[in-house]
Every structure is written in structure tokens, then in C-alpha cells.
Amino acid sequence: MRADRLVSLVLLLRQRGRMSAPALARELEVSTRTVLRDIEALSAAGVPVYAERGRNGGFALLPGFHTELTGLNHDEALALLVAGSRGGAQAFGLGSPLASAMRKVVDALPDSARDIATDASQRVLIEPTTDFLSRPSTTEAVSDTIGAEVRRAVFAGHKLRIRYAPADQPPAWRTVDPIGLVTVRDQGYLLATRSGADRTYRLSRILAAEELSEPAQRPDRVDLGQLWQERTTRFRYGGDTLTVMVRVNPERCAELIDTALAVREEATDPDGWLRLEATFQDARHAEWALWQLATHAEVLAPQWLRTVLHARARTLADQYAGKEQRPEDI
């Protein structure tokens, strides 16, 4: 870990020039004292780093110093820089390693291409934090410590002990056989088995993790894409799911597809609206999702859901049908 940090420190000074000890500490996520010790270690190893005193002082490298890193061409570096803008690294607890890797990518470029690639990466934005409707994304970061422990167990093929907090349940320890890691819409998941039964754990709900020395009971080869498809299919159609027949304005159909577990198109009505069969996790999920569409959707069946939404709409209408507010009441 220290060797990686020393390389990152050198790359920061190469790319940004003079930096203060507190600024380096923030970038490397360590204490100022650790930065000072690392500076001493670099000097002892022959790296030409020097201190500039004064109010605007800091540490810098002698001009012309170069690190020995494998070169990348422009398109290769740009691909990595753009990929680094996605949220998957946060979902797997790889935020700090990603930052370190990006510094190495930039430093590996020839001097003539470094500024071009950096500028080009700023012209591309992948998965912004909000969309046109100002709806925020829901990336859930995983701590580096937990992410590293989970990854080690997955890659080494060892059993994993986790303290997991399911929704609306108290946390509990359990020992699992990890199979692989999946990220979907910037959410990280651990695919595993527990006592032979399939289990899927959201990484952000793992409160602690410990790699065990015992080998995991799992197949030598796995197709994660196929496995994920099988598990999502069981989730969508297994258990007490709710199927709803609904008419929806085609301009809002994408929102319904995003929130429902599954959507199957039945027909197009004469007015252009789509008649769909939508599957929801339960009644609460269906009521919430269809309420978001307001007058752009109409439930056709079941009747009890129409009644629930009608009562909800009437309550809201009654709330706003009272006396008109005076300016002094606002």
C-alpha cells in the first residue's frame, strides 16, 4: 500500500506542480504527518523532491524528472479516463484505487498528448448525477476496506463472513460462498450461495466483511451474465408479485419501464396510448409507481388498485379545495 501511495505522490507532483502537505494529504486520504514521512522516504530513494518555504510554498519535483511507466496512445488513455467517470468503481469500493489509476494513466501519456487527452475526457460525461428532470442518481458508495475484503474473497475463492443489514431487518453475521460481483445502474451486488442456496447481497448493506481461509464451495467457471439473468428473472416472477393492466401515455412509458419489475406491451389504443401488462413487487410498489405518472397512466385492473388510487386522488383534491390562502398566510 505504501509503495502505491509513494507512486501516487510523485504523479501528483508531476501533474500539478508544487503542492502543500495538507493538499497532498487530502488527495491521498492520509494525515499530513504521513505525507511528510513519505517525502523523506522519496528523498532517501533518490527522487528529486524539494520543499519551497513561505506562504505559497510546498513540495515540488526538480524540472525534467520522469517516472518509468508504460506508455499509452491517445485513444487508449481517453477510453480509460472516460471509463473512470462511471460510478461502478464506487459501487465496488474502488474509489481510491481508481483515482490512483487515473493519475498513472495521465502520466503514462507522452507530453504532447497529455493535455489533449485530459481536455478530451472533460468533453464527455457518462451517467451524470441527475437527469433532465433533476432526478438524482442513486449510486451507493462502498467503503474501500469492505470492498477490498469482499474482492479478495471473490478472487481467491475463499469463504466470506459478512455482517449484513437487509431492508427493515436488524444486521446479522452470515458466512457465504462468494461467486462474483455485479454492478447494475451503479449499484454493486455480491452473488453468492449460503448453505447451497442462491443469495444476492447489495454491497452497500454490508457493514463488515472478513475473508476466511476456507475454500468456497463454488463452480470453477461461471457465466455471470447468465447467472444474473436467472436471478433477476426469479426475483421478478417469483413470490407474491402483482400484475397490473394499465394504459400509459407513450411519452411517459419509459418511466414505467424503469420502475416496474417487468413490462409487456399488449396493444396500442386508438388514441395512441399503450396498453401494457406491468409486474410490480407488491401492492405498495404498484401504487407508488403509478401515482408518479399522475394523469399519464390509467389502471385498468385490478379494480381494487383503481379504487385505492381514486381515493388517494380525492384526498389530495379535497386538501386543495379549501379556502383560498391569503398572502399573509403564505
In this predicted structure, the answer to whether residue 287 has a pLDDT above a threshold of 90 is yes
pLDDT digits (tens, 9 = 90+) for 19-68: 998 999 988 888 899 989 888 888 877 778 888 877 777 898 887 665 54
Say how many CA atoms lie within 13 Å of 113 toward its Cβ.
14
pLDDT at 69: 47
The kind and range of the H/E element at 161 are strand 158-164
Distance CA 7, CA 3 (A): 6
- Nine-digit cell string for 204: 452497500
Confidence of residue 286 (pLDDT cuts 50, 70, 90): very high
Distance CA 88, CA 160 (A): 22
Q: Length of the chain in residues, anyone?
A: 330
Confidence of residue 171 (pLDDT cuts 50, 70, 90): very high
| Contacts of 198 by beta carbon, 8 Å cutoff, 6+ apart | 191, 231
Q: What average pLDDT score do residues 93-118 get?
A: 60
| Contacts of 22 by beta carbon, 8 Å cutoff, 6+ apart | 32
State the helix-helix crossing angle for 283-292 and 303-319, rounded to 10 degrees. Answer: 50
Confidence of residue 213 (pLDDT cuts 50, 70, 90): very high
pLDDT digits (tens, 9 = 90+) for 143-170: 888 888 998 899 889 999 999 998 778 9
* Rounded (10°) CA dihedral 281, 284, 288, 294: 110
Confidence of residue 83 (pLDDT cuts 50, 70, 90): low
Between 3-7, 80-84, 101-105, 309-313, the lowest mean confidence (pLDDT) is in: 80-84
Distance CA 284, CA 287 (A): 5
Q: What average pLDDT score do residues 117-122 get?
A: 57
Q: What average pLDDT score do residues 119-123 get?
A: 56
- Nine-digit cell string for 26: 487530502
pLDDT at 6: 77
Distance CA 84, CA 257 (A): 28
Q: Residue 105 class from Cβ within 10 Å (0-12 exposed, 13-18 middle, 19+ buried)? A: buried
**Listed residue (260, 252, 293) closest to 277, CA to CA:** 260
Average pLDDT, the chain: 79
CA 232 to chain centre: 18
CA 274 to chain centre: 32
Regarding predicted confidence, which is higher, 127 or 9? 9
In this predicted structure, the answer to whether residue 264 has a pLDDT above a threshold of 50 is yes
Distances from the Cα of 84 to the Cα of 16, 96, 112, 124, 163, angstroms:
19, 11, 22, 11, 29
Distance CA 48, CA 63 (A): 9
Question: What pTM was estimated for this model as a whole?
Answer: 0.49
